[in-house]
Amino acid sequence: MLLSFFFLLGPAPPPRPDPPLPHPDEGGGAREEKWGVAKAAFCQGAPLALVYFAEYFVNQGLMELLYFPSSPLPHSAQYRTLQLLYQAGVFASRSSLRCLRLRRLWGLALAQVLLASFLLAAVAVNHLLPGLGVAAALALGEGLVGGGAYGNAFSNLGEQVPLPQQPLAIAVVTLGAEVAIAAAGGAGLGAHAAFCGRE
């Protein structure tokens, strides 16, 4: 983002003349509108960031460690199958906003954290999952939750934030999600190294 800001963006347009001073009542309305934008960005961005942290923690730190020797598929094919089902879930839920709209996303965040916690326990305790089929269902569910949170968060922002403030609200929510993904990558690398170091 810094490289884009400093090297890709053109110069700012010349400043416009100062607008007339607002009436005291209008100033209060502007503050209330800004608070509404901040509240909408937090209400959609915080659960989305939590969903993404749990989701990418699973994908970066745990998914590769799930292995089922009884399956006819080799380890690499098992991993690819789980990733394919995860992406299929993301695609399906991001494409289904007309079928299922969620105004509040904390339930999805809780579901994703519980799913990540269960998979962490499954990696820590061998044979906690009975087979590849259960892991495949969980990977599909992880994708459905993640894609549903993403699509609904930005759709809700479009409805809750006035058009002039939408770019800022979307940028704030996107930045929060990216920070969560980066943090999940670090936590996932640590967890992966810790589990592999036990072997």
pLDDT tens digit string along 146-165? 999 999 999 999 998 888 88
How many structural domains does the chain have? 1
pLDDT at 36: 79
Full residue range of the structural domain in which residue 115 is found: 39-198
Q: Is residue 20 part of a domain?
A: no
Residue 17 lies in a domain: no
pLDDT number for residue 132: 93
pLDDT band for 15, please (50, 70, 90 cuts).
low
In a domain, 15, yes or no: no
User: What is the pLDDT averaged over residues 107-135?
Assistant: 92
Which range has the top average pLDDT, 20-24, 33-37, 58-62? 58-62
**100 domain residue, yes or no:** yes
For the segment 113-124, what is each residue's pLDDT rounded down to a tens digit? 999 999 999 998
Does residue 10 form part of some domain?
no
pLDDT at 95 (0 to 100): 87
| Calpha distance 169→38 (Å, rounded) | 7
Q: What per-residue confidence (pLDDT) applies to 10?
A: 67
Rounded mean pLDDT, 181-192: 93
142 contact partners, CB below 8 Å, separation of at least 6: 55, 58, 86, 89, 112, 115
Is the pLDDT confidence value at 126 over 80? no
Q: Are 114 and 171 in contact (CB under 8 A)?
A: no
On whether residue 45 sits in a domain, the answer given is: yes
Most confident of the following: 67-71, 78-82, 188-192: 78-82
Asked if the structure places residue 21 within a domain, the reply is no
**How would residue 184 be classed by pLDDT, with cut points 50, 70 and 90?**
very high
**Is 12 a domain residue?**
no
How far is Cα 74 from Cα 103, in angstroms, rounded to an integer?
A: 41
Pick the more confident residue, 10 or 55.
Answer: 55
Measure Cα distances from 82 to 120, 136, 141 in Å. 15, 6, 11
pTM: 0.81
